[in-house]
């Protein structure tokens, strides 16, 4: 029996989608073990899992655990979807920087929001890695929790080897680009590589014909398309970024800190707070529907984790995009950093593809991103609170908004606000 553990299963909306996908695949006997520290959310997740299984016509074993080690015992796969601090911590990540004049849209990957989300998450990842090493050392950890690159980098620094970061951005970018130019996705060949939320479509073809030419025609004919960050970046850099304009705007210094660019490119400052509110409302609708015996949505997500599990269990080969250590996979990005590349998955596990060198302008941006990630991981590994401030100093968007004294003051305030989640050595104020 294949045992699949959800850590952070109380992220009910995401758990539902993954379970709908898993239960649509032929995996043989399956044990779904759900873990969360919130009893109500855990109970809701268990109820949703049973409901979705019945709707899919399958009969997995489903267990719910408030204690993590009990859930992990004997696991084959661990899906990490934790969000440490939940909505309250996310709101702090937006509201305090906003007082300093720092604009964010999503705040979960880079910038001050990404840095402090990582620092809140690392102590949980350290405990999770230790538990996996003791009770299920052969399990694969499939990480969805952001900031993806920082979290996977940190897990590898702790010695966990069977870990891959999974994100849907490459797939949905190619899905949407194909629709935009009127070519069926199954007729498109593509190659993307870079770092999570800042990878690049390096090849975009059908039958050997470059589809970028067609994309150029569509963009030229539609002025509103040119009012999007990722289109603006594509026109200037020559390659299309694989994450939304809202995300992409946060990793460079050119957009969010200029009011004229916010208006020109229709950037929704603080957008993630609305997403957080909608996620909470969706959870409450699911919770209330299950209590009332009413139906809940059973919709697949096309996420990678169920596909990865199916390929490893059955040997069915698939190509996915994974976040893995850079062991020469992208030759002009730092060795040991975490990069996003195509990976073959089969019964042998995750096998990344070497892409070679990125175009210099793309590698330059990715190196700036990875500089921040490296300093955050160093802060945790070396227990050095100065590295937190140095990471935010190196962040392109924050550096465009604030002088260095205010960057340190902002970090001090965020450290104090999140101190209960941070490792004790990182709680020091450095005014």
Q: Which residues are annotated as a binding site?
A: 146, 167, 197
Q: Considering the candidates 31, 65, 156, 168, report the single residue annotated as catalytic.
A: 168
Kindly give, in sequence order, each residue whose CB lies less than 8 Å from that of residue 24, ignoring residues fewer than 6 positions away.
56, 300, 306
Residue in the block written with tokens 């979705």: 52
Distance CA 84, CA 3 (A): 24
Identify which of 303, 2, 315 has the alpha carbon closest to the alpha carbon of residue 164.
303
DSSP string, 309-350: HHHHHH---EEEEEEEE-SSSBTTS-TTSEEEEEEEEETTEE
Residues 169 and 197: beta-carbon distance below 8 Å: yes
Rounded to 5 degrees, what are φ and ψ at 384? -115, 105
Please state the φ and ψ torsions of residue 366, each to the nearest 5 degrees: -60, -35
Q: Omega of the bond prior to 194 within 30 degrees of 0, cis? A: no
Both tokens of residue 346?
């089969």
Query: Which amino acids are annotated as binding site for Mn(2+), given as ranges?
Result: 167, 197
Active site residue 168: yes
Q: List the Cα angle 268/191/318 in 5-degree steps.
A: 105
Residue at token pair 């990678």: 304
206 neighbors 254 (Cβ within 8 angstroms): no
Q: How many helices (H) and strands (E) does the chain have?
A: 17, 13
Displacement of CA 157 from its chain's centroid (Å): 18
**Cβ contact 199:191 at 8 Å:** no
Beta strands 198-206 and 30-35, pairing class: unpaired
Which element (helix H / strand E) includes 293? none
* CB distance 256 to 397 below 8 Å: yes
Please report, in range form, the residues annotated as the binding site for substrate.
146
Q: Can you tell me whether residue 63 is helix, strand or coil? A: strand
DSSP 300: -
Distance CA 269, CA 259 (A): 11
- Which residues have a catalytic role annotated? 168
């Amino acid at each position: 029996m294949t045992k699949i553990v959800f850590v952070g299963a109380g992220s009910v909306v995401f758990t539902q989608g993954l379970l709908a996908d898993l239960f649509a695949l032929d995996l043989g006997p399956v044990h779904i073990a759900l873990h969360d520290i919130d009893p109500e959310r855990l109970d809701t997740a268990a109820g949703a899992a049973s409901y979705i299984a019945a709707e899919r016509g399958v009969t997995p074993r489903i267990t719910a655990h408030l204690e993590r080690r009990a859930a992990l015992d004997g696991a084959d796969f661990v899906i990490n979807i934790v969000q440490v601090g939940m909505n309250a911590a996310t709101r702090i990540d937006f509201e305090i920087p906003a007082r300093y004049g720092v604009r964010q849209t999503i705040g979960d990957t880079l910038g001050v929001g990404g840095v402090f989300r990582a620092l809140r998450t690392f102590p949980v990842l350290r405990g999770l890695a230790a538990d996996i090493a003791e009770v299920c050392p052969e399990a694969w950890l499939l990480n969805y929790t952001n900031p993806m690159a920082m979290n996977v980098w940190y897990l590898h620094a702790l010695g966990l080897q069977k870990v891959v970061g999974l994100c849907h951005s490459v797939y949905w970018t190619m899905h949407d680009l194909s629709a935009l130019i009127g070519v069926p996705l199954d007729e498109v060949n593509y190659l993307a590589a870079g770092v999570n939320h800042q990878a690049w479509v390096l090849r975009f073809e059908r039958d050997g014909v470059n589809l970028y030419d067609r994309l150029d025609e569509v963009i030229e004919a539609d002025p509103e398309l040119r009012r999007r960050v990722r289109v603006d970046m594509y026109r200037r850099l020559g390659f299309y970024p694989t994450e939304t304009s809202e995300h992409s705007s946060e990793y460079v210094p050119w957009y969010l800190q200029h009011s004229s660019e916010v208006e020109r490119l229709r950037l929704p400052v603080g957008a993630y707070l609305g997403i957080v509110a909608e996620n909470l409302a969706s959870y409450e609708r699911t919770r209330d529907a299950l209590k009332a015996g009413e139906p809940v949505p059973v919709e697949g997500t096309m996420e990678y984790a169920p596909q990865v599990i199916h390929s490893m269990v059955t040997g069915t080969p698939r190509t996915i995009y994974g976040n893995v250590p850079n062991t020469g996979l992208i030759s002009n990005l730092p060795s040991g950093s975490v990069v996003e590349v195509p990976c073959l998955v089969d019964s042998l596990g995750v096998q990344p593809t070497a892409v070679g060198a990125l175009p210099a302008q793309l590698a330059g941006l990715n190196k700036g991103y990875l500089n921040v990630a490296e300093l955050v991981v160093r802060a945790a590994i070396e227990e050095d609170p100065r590295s937190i401030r140095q990471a935010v100093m190196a962040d392109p968007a924050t550096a465009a908004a604030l002088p260095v004294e205010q960057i340190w003051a902002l970090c001090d305030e965020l450290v104090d606000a999140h101190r209960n989640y941070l490792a004790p050595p990182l709680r020091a104020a450095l005014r």
